[in-house]
Amino acid sequence: MTEITVRIDMEELRNIYWGNGYQRYFFGPTTKKESAWLIVAVLVYPFFAWYSIRLEDYTWFVSGTVFFTLLVYRFIDVARPIIAWKKSVTDFLTDAEKTTTLKIMYTDEFIIHQQDEITIKLNWSMITQATITDRFISFEKSPDTFLIPKKSITEDEFQALDAILMDKVQHVERRTV
């Protein structure tokens, strides 16, 4: 059985999760278009109100309010998954800071993830997907995801874990970050 003791590098974990800009509500990768439309709506809405008061015709005000409300709703709809993801990552990082012992042990039949007193033993067939990058290795058994930063283990351990995951897991994705 091969055993890897993971030395948690909190700075690297934070950098992996927060370094790519996905945590931003405004002008993040998934909210860029909605943020631009929201700014346009905020700038145009006062003109709807002013024009409505000037003409004493409230259809412009009602139309502007409906338009603005729909854009705010769309923005919230797109930002809601980011809010939930950010909360789950914050909870994960808080738990990771409290972790004193983290070990990965594996053989040809199974892998064991031991975090403090919690031990999870998985057969290789139970792992649904693995992701290998130049910064970390992660593997999933729904609903759990296990992430091991490269800086938290030695280069030899990283290469050995990379090789066994490539050999034993059916769906492995290689990415450059």
For 145-162, how does the pLDDT look when each residue is reduced to its tens digit (9 = 90+)?
A: 889 999 999 999 999 999
125 CA to centre of own chain: 24
Q: Nearest CA to 69 among 21, 102, 37, 103? A: 37
Domain covering 2-14+100-174 in this structure, CATH number: 2.30.29.30
The string of pLDDT tens digits covering residues 35-60 is: 999 999 999 999 888 888 888 888 88
Full-model pTM: 0.71
**Domain ranges within the chain, ordered by starting residue:** 2-14+100-174, 21-97
